Amino acid sequence: MGTLAAERHQSNILIVDDEPANLRLLDKMLGGQGYVNRILVQDPREVLSKFEQQRIDLVLLDINMPHLDGYQVMEQLMALELPLLPPIVILTAQNSKDYLLRALAGGARDFISKPFDRNELLMRVRNLLDAHLAHRMVQDQKAVLEEMVALRTRELHHTRLQVVQRLGRAAEYRDEETGSHILRMSYICALLARSIGWSDDKCDLILNASPMHDVGKIAIPDAILKKPGRFEPHEWEIMKTHAHIGAEMLGGDDSELMVMARQIAISHHEKWDGTGYPLGLAGEAIPLAARIAALADVFDALTSVRPYKKAWTVEAAVDLIRQNSGKHFDPALVEVFLQQLPKILVIRDTYQD
């Protein structure tokens, strides 16, 4: 017996008829033809429970039954909204056109007249099962392909995040900052984003885009990048180029992650009052992701030890942020920052240097 025939004969065939004699006859016909999984239902009220217990491949359904007629049973099955409903064959002694059209409109695929013709019955069952099994195979293959695409997408996303994190870490190492700064800053960004109503997906984006905010520092000469004192004017101009350089490094990829990473890289040194760099943007012209990153970055930088400075106290850093609300920082974000300060301090304590 071929594979298709073997699978067909293992199909679950649900037979619904209130007449025990009809059930016995159909059971004998199908059993004699090698169909091993025959489910006999005399009470149509049991049909739904049978569907919940196992996957049904074909339904042979009487129309005239007590409690629920065949039309009502079909309504129940249609209401399940299954991805692939098994074919329904109506068993009927009625041959009027209106009667049969109503059954077909209700979801029936075919009909068999009573009294049953054995050859006709077996041929219709075979053809409908073969068609259904083919549809199910296509659906199963589609599900497998969708899962493969989803898996590959997750792998690509993971790979991209690994590259992102390593780029960010490389920039921090050159600046003699720590990987913990990246973690703290990015988690604070995600916290602030969530607090202003961003979706989980967008919060995940800023969590993974913000570590690249200073990636352009990789191109800044050590004599400037690691200078312990104040910059000379020409040195400061060179230092400021890291924003443009970072955006250029992150160019060429239109994924949501890299688009946000570029926005943050080029705009996180802009200021609400327009006195920042490199473009002198002001207010809401500054991308919101960059405004969030600026606040998180400044707070963590102030409260962290650097070779050229001691760590500020939390109180001193918060005072500076308050004083610069509406100047350096988006005033609405400052309010959110202050509301979320206890959670921000938890992040700070969790990811210590």
pLDDT (tens digit, 9 = 90+) per residue, 136-174? 888 778 777 888 888 887 787 777 677 776 776 676 666
d(CA 330, CA 268): 12
Quick one: angle between helices 200-209 and 179-195, nearest 10?
A: 150
Phi-psi map region of 43: left, alpha, beta (phi>0 left; psi -120 to 50 alpha): beta
**Fold of the domain built from segment(s) 175-350:** Hypothetical protein af1432 (1.10.3210)
| Average per-residue pLDDT for the chain | 87
Q: Phi first, then psi: give them for residue 39, nearest 5 degrees.
A: -115, 115
Q: What residue spans define the domains of the chain?
A: 3-146, 175-350
The predicted model scores a pTM of 0.59
**Class of domain 3-146 (CATH, top level):** alpha beta
Buried b (16+ CB within 10 A) or exposed e, 4-31: eeebbbebbbbbbbbeeebbebbbebbe
d(CA 137, CA 182): 48
Give whichever of 62-71, 249-258, 285-294 has the largest mean pLDDT: 285-294
290 pLDDT higher than 90: yes
- Helix count (H) and strand count (E) of the chain? 16, 5
Predicted confidence (pLDDT) per residue in 300-312, tens digit: 989 987 766 788 9
The reported pLDDT for the residue numbered 102 is 84
The token duo for 50 is: 């049978």
Q: Residue 252: pLDDT band by 50, 70, 90 thresholds?
A: confident
CA end-to-end distance (rounded Å), the chain:
69
User: Could you tell me how far CA 190 lies from the centroid of its own chain?
Assistant: 18
Instruction: Give the CA angle between residues 186, 310, 334 to the nearest 5°.
Output: 45
